[in-house]
Structure 1
Amino acid sequence: MTFSKHEDFQNKGILKLANVIDVDMVADVQSHLWQEVSHKFGIHLDEPSTWFSNAHNPVGDAGAKRLNGMGSIMRDLKASGKLDEIEHAIQPVIDHVFGAHTWRPLDLWYSLLSFPGSESAWNVPHKSWHCDEPAVVGDTEPWSLFVFVFLDNVTADMGPTTVVSGSHRRAERLATALGTSNNAALINAFESVNSGLFENPEDVTLLPMDQVLAPLIQEDPWFQELVKEGSPDQRIQRFIEEGNSLHGIEQKVVTLTGAAGDIIVFDPRCLHTFSANVSALPRQVLRLDFKRQL
C-alpha cells in the first residue's frame, strides 16, 4: 500500500523532504550564523577549544551542549531578510503537501545549535520525552507544524532530535479516554497558533502535553522500556529497528537526520527529546513554525 506524503505525515507525524533549500542559500545563512556566534560568544567553528567555557552559558547535559542567547541572533537574522528566501522555498512545498493556503509561517525562527558532549557512544535517549502541543478530541491536525531546516549534513551521531513516530495518534486516542474540558488557560497559552480555531474554548476537550507519557507507560511495555536505561545495541534494535504496534498504531523511534538543504516537517504532538552529540562536530539546524489557517 502506498500513501501520499500527507497521509504518511498523518500516520507518522514526521515527513522528510529532500533538497528543498538551495545549498548556496544554506551556506550563506550558515556562514552568517557562525559569524554572529563568533562575535557574540567568541566561539569559532574551526577552534574546538573555544566551543565551551564557563562563560558561554551552555544548556543541556553530558550528552550534548546547546547555547543560550541565540534568540537575539535569530531575530536579527530574520529582520535582515536573510531567511526570506528560505521561507519562500519552503512555502510552496508545504502548500503542495498539505494544501494551498492551509499553513503560514510565524515570524519566529529557532536555532538548534548543538555541540559535542562527553558521551562516547550514541544511544536511544531514555530521558526528557515530551510533547509540545496538547491532543484535542475530534481534531486530527496539530495547531502548528514544526519545520526543521538542515544547515549541516546531520547524522545520528550528531545529536539529532529523536521522535516516537505515531505517538501523536496514541495521544489522540488517550485524549478521547482521558481528556478534560475547562482548559481555557492552556488554550490561551497557545494563542499564537490556535487563535480563531475555537468558538468556545471552554468546551474544547483535550489532553495536556504533560499528561501523555504516563498513561502510555502504564498501558504499553514498549514505553516502559523506552524510559529506562539500556545498552546502545539493545535500545537501537528495540526502538529504531523493530518498533512496536498497539491499537493498530505503529510506532518507532526516528532520528531527525538529513543533508544540508533538506527539511523535516514534524507534528509537535509527537513525543520527542534531544539525543547525545557524540561526533566531533557541532551542528546547525533551524526551526520554523507554521500556523494552521482557518
Structure 2
Amino acid sequence: MKILITGSNGQVGTCLVNQLANTGHDVLALDRDKLDITDSEQVMSAVRDYCPDVIINAAAHTAVDKAESESELAFAINRDGPQNLAQAAQQVNAAILHISTDYVFAGNKVGSYLESDDTDPQGVYGKSKLEGELAVVSSCDKHIILRTAWVFGESGNNFVKTMLRLAQSRDSLGVVGDQFGGPTYAGDIAAALIHIATAVVEQGNSDFGTYHFSGLPHVSWAQFAQTIFDKALEQSVLSSKPIVNSITTADYPTPAKRPENSRLDTQKITQTFGIAASDWQAALCHLDDYMA
C-alpha cells in the first residue's frame, strides 16, 4: 500500500509515521516545509508523481483562538488544502482519509453527537473545518472524514503536557469543569486511520463517509486534569500533585467559543470497522514520555 501523509510533524502525523515504519508499506511523509497543501499545483504534482493508494491528511490549522484573527489562513489550510488533496486523490483514483473535529457542532446537545446530527460551528476554526469536510466529500468519491476531539500525545503541544508543566510550579490550578468530551490519544487516531486505510485499499471496504473517533469515558477538563495528576503521582513523574479547582467557562474567557459538549458517539466506527473508542487512560501509563 502506498500512503501519502500530510502534516507528518503534527501530533497524529508523527504517530502515523512511527507506526507505519517497518510495516512494508510504501510511505511518503510530508510536512508543511515539503508540501504546501494550499498550493493546488504543488499538491497535484506531488500526488501525480507519487500516485498513492491513499492520502491521509493530518495537516490542519488547529490554533482555535488564533483562527479568530487569522481566518484567511485558517480557511486556506482547513478548507482549501483538503479540497486540493481530495481533487488530486480523485485524479489518481486514491482514497483520502481526512481528520476533522467536534468543533463542527454547536456543542449544546444533550448526549453524544452522532455523525448524522446537524452541524453548526460557532467559530472560525469550526467553520473552516466544516467547509474542509464538505470540500473533501464533494471532490473525492473515496473519502473518509474522521472527526475527533481533545487530542493529546507525546509530541506537539496539548493539554496533558501543559498540565504536567504547570504542576511542577503550582500548588493549585483552576481548570474548566463545565465542558465535557472524550480525550483522544493521537496514537489511537493513527492506528484507527491505518486500520481504515487497510480496509478500504487492501480489503476493498467501500463504507466511505463520516465517522466519529474519540475517547471514553467522557469527562470534563477538570476531571481529565485530575486523572493526569493521579497517574503522574503513581508513576513518580510528579512528587506531589496540585489541587484542581473546577471553574466555569465564564471564569476563563477565550477569543474562540468552546463547545460545552464535545462528546462524540463512536458506535458507527466500531460497528463498521471494528475500531474501539480510544482508551485515553491507558495512554497515560507512560507520562515520562510526555515530559521530554
Normalised by the shorter chain, which TM-score bucket? under 0.3
The structure carrying a bigger helix percent of its residues is 2
TM-score between both structures, scaled by the size of structure 2:
0.24
TM-score between both structures, scaled by the size of structure 1:
0.24
Comparing both chains, which one has the higher relative contact order based on Cα–Cα distances under 8 Å and sequence gaps of 6 or more?
Answer: 1
